[in-house]
Amino acid sequence: MSVVPPVTLSPAARALLDGANFGHLATLQEDGSPKVEPVWIGRDGDRLLVATDAKSIKARNVDHDPRVALSVTAFDDPYDQLLVRGTVTEVRADDDLAVLDDLSQRYLGTEFPRRRWSSRIVLVITPTLARHHRSPLRDPRTPTTEG
């Protein structure tokens, strides 16, 4: 397997990641089948952060195969999107819930409400592809502010 170098995120990709926008993280199960689930996303420079329980299926999946894919859409405009492929290059402990609380402040406006966990971790994803696209399509049910 060839090594793909990491990419630098564009300003538009960073802005999408820095908002309260949901992502969908795809991991690979041991039998090779994909598993996708919605996640909150943080950012550390050009690396993406996903908080989870150390015993979660996604944590177990990346333990045996660190390749992941992630899609992110803007909460208020699902046609503003980011597609990422990458690798989990680090797993950080988050037993004090510092990263989870930071994400919760962004998504809920408060500390994460559930405080009891066996072991919290943060999956650090290094992107090898990051493609941002804002489509000209618009949801006709959404009011516009244009003239």
Q: What is the CATH number of the domain that holds 19?
A: 2.30.110.10
Q: Is the pLDDT of residue 65 over 90?
A: yes
pLDDT reported for residue 4:
80
- On whether residue 141 sits in a domain, the answer given is no
Domain that holds residue 65: 11-133
- On whether residue 140 sits in a domain, the answer given is no
- On whether residue 28 sits in a domain, the answer given is yes
The token duo for 90 is: 């680090």
Task: Tell me the CA distances in angstroms from 56 to 11, 61, 72, 115, 140, one per residue in order.
Answer: 32, 9, 21, 16, 38
User: How are beta strands 47-53 and 42-44 bridged, if at all?
Assistant: antiparallel
pLDDT reported for residue 43:
97
Domain total in the chain: 1
Question: Using alpha carbons only, how large is the chain's radius of gyration in Å?
Answer: 16
Backbone angles phi, psi at 4, to 5 degrees: -100, 130
- On whether residue 144 sits in a domain, the answer given is no
pLDDT in tens, 70-115: 999 999 898 999 999 999 999 999 989 999 999 999 999 999 877 7
- Please state, in angstroms and rounded to a whole number, the distance separating the CA atoms of residues 25 and 88: 12
- Please state, in angstroms and rounded to a whole number, the distance separating the CA atoms of residues 71 and 16: 11
- On whether residue 106 sits in a domain, the answer given is yes
- On whether residue 2 sits in a domain, the answer given is no
- On whether residue 19 sits in a domain, the answer given is yes
- On whether residue 146 sits in a domain, the answer given is no
pLDDT in tens, 18-34: 999 999 999 999 999 99
pLDDT band at 147 (very low <50, low <70, confident <90, very high): very low
pLDDT reported for residue 2:
66
Specify burial of residue 137 (Cβ count, 10 A radius: 0-12, 13-18, 19+). exposed
